[in-house]
Amino acid sequence: MHWDFAVILVFLGGVVPWLGQRRVRRLTRVPFTTTMERLGLYASTIAVQWLVAAIILWRTAVHGIRPGRLGLAVPDPRLTASASIFLSLIVLANQIFSVRRLAAQPSQIKGVLPELALKIFPHTETERLVFIALVTTVALCEELIYRGFVQSVFQDVSRDMAVVGIVVSAVFFALAHVYQGRRGVISTFAVGVIFATIRWWTGSLVPAAVAHFVADLAVGLLAPKRLRAALLNRAEEGDAAPASQTLHK
């Protein structure tokens, strides 16, 4: 393995999880976030993700790795389009079901993630527009990083064993979401395996990127209103006194 690839992998597997946890700890200590704070969070995430993606494209180009090897191709347009639609519909249905289930059962809203979501998801039209740019960035960059770069590197290291690239890329993807707790890591790992398998099957990042975009956009636009209502109902019942602070816009 090239030394620069090893450095990137250490960053992805060690520094990124640490930064994510540190950011979440800071957010949990404040009762609410302002519009400027949320926009700043979106902007910084966009900048960092594009920087990492640019470094990966640079270093892989230096080593003569073609874009197609990273999944930046569409070998079979019909298969790619079909997989994109099918995968997107599945993740969209799952996100809608999950948000509705939480909204319908306020008592099931536990842990830090629901209230954290209200601090980072958009509340205004301006925030929603910037959030769309954020979701686009995350979908493109994270797919390039994990299903493109990490999956390709470990598939090469294992002498073209696809399962190694799929599993290891899912592990790195899960580590990047360690701030979500044990359940979040497990679910993210499962999603990573599915996305990586589709990327290997189609030879393209397009299906996973489209599904990633749909999933994040759906939850980002649907969750705030429903979660605010659910937390408010729970607070009125006396189950969550601190929730009133989180509902601040």
User: What pLDDT is attached to residue 110?
Assistant: 58
**Contact yes or no for 146/16 (Cβ under 8 A):** no
User: What pLDDT is attached to residue 135?
Assistant: 96
Closest CA to 212 of 119, 123, 146, 118: 146
User: What pLDDT is attached to residue 112?
Assistant: 63
Cα 240 to Cα 98, 113, 117, 228, 231, distances in angstroms: 21, 14, 16, 12, 7
User: What pLDDT is attached to residue 228?
Assistant: 62
**Contact yes or no for 87/207 (Cβ under 8 A):** yes
The identity of residue 183, as a single letter, is R
The pLDDT profile of the chain, 249 residues, written as one tens digit per residue, is: 899 999 999 999 999 999 999 988 888 888 888 899 999 999 999 999 999 999 999 999 999 999 999 999 999 999 999 999 999 999 999 888 877 776 666 555 555 666 777 788 888 899 999 999 999 999 999 999 999 999 999 999 988 889 999 999 999 999 999 988 888 899 999 999 999 999 999 999 999 999 999 999 988 888 777 666 555 555 445 544 444 444 444
Packing angle, helices 181-202 and 77-104, rounded to 10: 160
DSSP label at residue 76: -
**Contact yes or no for 181/24 (Cβ under 8 A):** no
User: What pLDDT is attached to residue 245?
Assistant: 46
Other CB atoms within a 10 A radius of the CB of residue 135 amount to: 21
User: What pLDDT is attached to residue 98?
Assistant: 79
User: What pLDDT is attached to residue 5?
Assistant: 96
What is the pTM for the complete model shown? 0.86
The count of domains in the chain is 1
Domain region containing 154: 3-246
